[in-house]
């Protein structure tokens, strides 16, 4: 993970182009069947973010997905969600993908007066669970929902698309609540999940210039209401790395992503990531990557 940078796709059209799949017909909403693009869809992506919301229903095929810092195996009956703040990448294990992928933007909210914002749904939050495994009867219900949504889109009935999308998101919320209410709780596992979510949320706010300093292990521990030593002990037991190591890895990943943006200078990257000066950032980056920021940018 440390060796990658994060790509960013600002629109639905950019995302579909980046994934080498079908072309978008509408600026703020899109749906297509996975089987309609079996050869064009990338089999493997690097880490990326997108400004769009995504919901995918897999009828056939398998894939491994990383959403945030969580790893998921997708297969028949997987219903999963990707939000604008989620880091993501996937590896498609088979080429016989069938199902639906639906993408929509924040602007779709304002086009059609939505009472609940997309980010309010728990599966689009950084703290939520992004994948649910449906049984056969649930799968049949959701396939019918998506088929109707797809038919509306083919007819260019965007207003109807919104209403059908709202049904899907509400029904998914019911599934989400049921799964969470009935899932076994493990304190150590929950702490790891909550730390990963807090880590992702912090870096999202960091690069959005919404916070003034880089969080320390103590800061994360305070947010999670645990002692710093306990946090690191649990993380080391569950992941093999301490809290400090995981923060450093995430910081280097964000630095690499920003350095690959040709519009941002090394000084600006150091400022965004809250380093006191460019010299300190350069030393830190070289210590953990073996090269200076300039050398990395020149690759």
Q: What integer best gives the mean pLDDT of the chain?
A: 84
Same domain, 41 and 139: yes
Strands 63-67 and 70-74 come out as antiparallel
Query: Nearest to residue 107, comparing CAs of 80, 79, 84?
Result: 84
- Look at residue 143 in the predicted model and tell me its pLDDT: 96
CA distance 146 to 151: 9
Please give the torsion angle defined by the CA atoms of residues 120, 125, 127 and 129, in that order, rounded to the nearest 10 degrees. 100
Same domain, 198 and 176: no
Domain assignment present for 42 = yes
CATH number for the domain that contains residue 99? 2.60.120.280
Question: Averaged over 83-109, what is the pLDDT?
Answer: 82
**Alpha helices by DSSP H, 107-242:** 107-111, 136-154, 158-182, 187-207, 217-224, 228-239
CA distance 181 to 190: 14
Domain assignment present for 1 = no
Same domain, 35 and 161: yes
Give how many domains the chain has, as a whole number: 2
Question: Averaged over 56-75, what is the pLDDT?
Answer: 83
Whole-model pTM over 0.85: no
CATH number for the domain that contains residue 198? 1.10.10.60
pLDDT in tens, 229-263: 999 999 998 888 899 999 998 899 888 878 876 57
- Look at residue 2 in the predicted model and tell me its pLDDT: 37
Which strand ranges, in their side-by-side order, compose the sheet holding 7-9? Answer: 7-9, 48-50, 88-92, 63-67, 70-74
Same domain, 142 and 14: yes
Question: Averaged over 263-282, what is the pLDDT?
Answer: 91
pLDDT in tens, 202-214: 887 888 788 889 9
pLDDT in tens, 20-51: 888 888 889 999 998 887 665 567 777 788 88
201 with 227: CB under 8 angstroms? no
- Report the SS3 class of residue 116: coil
Domain assignment present for 64 = yes
- Look at residue 41 in the predicted model and tell me its pLDDT: 59
Same domain, 35 and 148: yes
Domain assignment present for 12 = yes
Same domain, 151 and 276: no
Does the pLDDT at position 68 exceed 80? no
The parent domain of residue 155 ranges over 7-182
pLDDT in tens, 131-158: 888 999 999 999 999 999 999 999 999 8
């Amino acid at each position: 993970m440390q060796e990658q940078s994060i790509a960013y796709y600002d629109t639905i059209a950019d995302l579909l182009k980046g994934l080498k799949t079908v072309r978008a017909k509408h600026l703020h909403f899109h749906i297509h069947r996975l089987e309609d693009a079996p050869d064009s869809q990338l089999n493997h992506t690097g880490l990326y973010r997108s400004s769009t919301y995504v919901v995918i229903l897999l009828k056939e095929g398998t894939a491994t997905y990383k959403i945030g810092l969580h790893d998921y195996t997708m297969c028949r009956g997987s219903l999963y969600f990707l939000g604008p703040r989620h880091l993501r990448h996937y590896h498609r294990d088979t080429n016989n993908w069938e199902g639906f992928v639906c993408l929509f933007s924040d602007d779709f909210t304002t086009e059609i007066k939505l009472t609940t914002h997309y980010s309010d749904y728990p599966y689009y939050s950084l703290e939520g669970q992004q994948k649910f495994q449906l049984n056969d009867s649930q799968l049949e219900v959701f396939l019918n929902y998506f088929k109707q949504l797809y038919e509306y889109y083919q007819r260019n009935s965007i207003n109807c698309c919104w209403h059908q999308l709202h049904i899907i998101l509400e029904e998914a919320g019911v599934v989400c609540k049921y799964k969470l209410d009935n899932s076994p709780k493990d304190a150590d596992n929950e702490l790891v999940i909550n730390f990963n979510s807090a880590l992702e949320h912090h870096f999202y706010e960091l690069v959005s210039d919404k916070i003034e300093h880089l969080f320390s292990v103590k800061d994360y521990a305070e947010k999670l209401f645990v002692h710093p030593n306990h946090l690191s002990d649990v993380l080391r037991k569950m992941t093999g790395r301490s809290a400090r190591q995981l923060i450093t890895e995430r910081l280097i990943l964000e630095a690499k992503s920003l350095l690959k943006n040709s519009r941002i200078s090394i000084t600006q990257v150091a400022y965004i990531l809250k380093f006191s000066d460019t010299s300190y950032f350069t030393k830190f980056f070289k210590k953990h990557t073996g090269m200076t920021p300039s050398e990395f940018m020149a690759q």
